[in-house]
Amino acid sequence: MSKLHPPSTLAALGRTWVEAWNARDLERVLTLYDDATVMTSDRIPGLGFDASGTVRGKESLRAYWRKALGLIPNLHFTLIDVYVSPDSLVVFYENERGKKICEYLRVNDAGLIVQGSANHLPQ
């Protein structure tokens, strides 16, 4: 069984995640992730990455996000809420275009993100 994380720790991780993105500090964001992390988003194929919508590993994630950041110079997330479970959190936020997004983030025993999934409203 994996380690249970206190809700306050996971909520703080969600706030830190938003702050790092708003600072446009990709390396700061990546410090929150495990080297073997897996990220899924319907935006991944559109940027020329894996057609399955999944990138695997921190280096692939770095390449994907570096490209995405280059295309969104005014990126900004406004935190709406953070939801927690013993091993995951959902960051509910609004982006710079007014779109509401839920980011599911599962953490390992060390508190690093090992799985992420960006969830957007259907178009």
| Residue ranges covered by each domain of the chain | 7-118
Q: What is the pLDDT along the chain (123 residues), one digit of tens a residue?
A: 467 888 899 999 999 999 999 999 999 999 999 999 999 998 899 888 888 999 999 999 999 999 999 999 899 999 999 999 999 999 999 999 999 999 999 999 999 999 999 998 887
- The number of CA neighbours under 13 Å toward the Cβ of 16 is 18
pLDDT at 2: 63
Q: Domain 7-118 class? A: alpha beta
pLDDT at 121: 87
